[in-house]
Structure 1
């Protein structure tokens, strides 16, 4: 089964050789599910021919905002709608969560309440799940037909299902503690308050439920086989 990864940003230069780029983080997260992967760096205007290029699709995180004026945003939104119309499964993470919502009629904004950094706990379909986060932007208006399946007090619309083949999530199951530590060092300092960064570092030793959520992602992507 072929999974197309739409890479919408790059990891910090300082750690890319060690931790990989965003697309590679997802190939590691989903290793063992029997997938073959093709990574398209859409942030660099590298796009697939269309939704039929893969059985299922995944959109990564990014330092960019979904509402920003970049020349690759509009074609990515067109591709998202084409994937939906072709009934191919689609998973979006952080920026991916936001751009899917925006492309399908929702709204994304910079959140007045500030940043979520590091391990966060979400109510997810009646259970508690912990995942690492790194975001200020949030989905503030849902696209038509979307159902919220994950939320917490800070992020009301943290996880969305749109139909039964599109799933989006605001936190980062692909981000390890080592990656959060690197983001704090290379992108957080000077941009995010030290109180938030210090709290995130204190939580780096606590476990997350990334592997369990990867299985939920795979359950959606596997619908490309059906």
Structure 2
């Protein structure tokens, strides 16, 4: 097992809405809370929310700052309201940086939602808008046998907030999970990368703020909004996924 400190660079791919920003500062703060909850649940020696976990945050949208690979052990690409298959300069720069990380073997990759899609794009598979529409609120995932091993559960539920998808698994990537609307829910290569299309970092409060904002702006119609709000407080496995991320990073 790699020894602490475990140095994770969080690449912020968006800025949260006002209520979430007031509570957490940014998505770096949201993921800090998730990873600290996960590491405390693991009960590993020399590693806890207060010791052995070194988190740094980089704004890759506006500042377009990136860590030096020799200074970190992993990168975490966050979710985003932006479109992973667009060609905005900052998105192209993020794809190129991800490709550089993929070329080496030491620094590992975690991708969430938009970040999951960026990893798929960097690996050369199709990423685009799903013809099945939005997948939102708490959704049950069908885990493969490998997925059950990695997440340590027979079944998994996560908050979802997307209509863009990775269309196929890149060569050499293991399939961990699927849903009816999204076949590529979680990608895995031992000691190299793990991604999820869902949002382990989102809680009920964060989700409700997004639902209400998108409903008010017409992105979600009344039926979508009401359905999402009915399921938003159901149990989800965010901390379980956080633990899986950390076990992946600590894997020899």
Output the TM-score relative to the length of structure 1.
0.93
How far apart are the structure 2 equivalents of 1:17 and 1:149?
34
How far apart are the structure 2 equivalents of 1:211 and 1:27?
12
Contact 1:50 1:79 in 2 (8 A): no
Q: Max radius of gyration: which structure?
A: 2
Q: 2:117 aligns with which of 82, 98, 111?
A: 98
Contact 1:159 1:170 in 2 (8 A): yes
Q: How many residues align?
A: 224
Output the TM-score relative to the length of structure 2.
0.84
Contact 2:9 2:67 in 1 (8 A): no
**Counterpart in the other structure of 1:26:** 31
SS in 1 for 2:22: helix
Aligned-residue offset at 1:79: 1.3
Aligned-residue offset at 1:80: 0.9
Aligned-residue offset at 1:178: 0.6
Contact 1:132 1:173 in 2 (8 A): yes
Aligned-residue offset at 1:143: 2.1
Aligned-residue offset at 1:96: 0.4
**Counterpart in the other structure of 2:3:** none
1:33-182 mapped onto 2 (5 Å cutoff): 33=48, 34-87=52-105, 88-126=107-145, 127-182=154-209
Q: 2:225 aligns with which of 197, 205, 209?
A: 197
Structure 2 unaligned residues grouped into runs of 5+: 1-5, 41-47, 146-153
Structure 1 unaligned residues grouped into runs of 5+: none
How far apart are the structure 2 equivalents of 1:162 and 1:67?
22
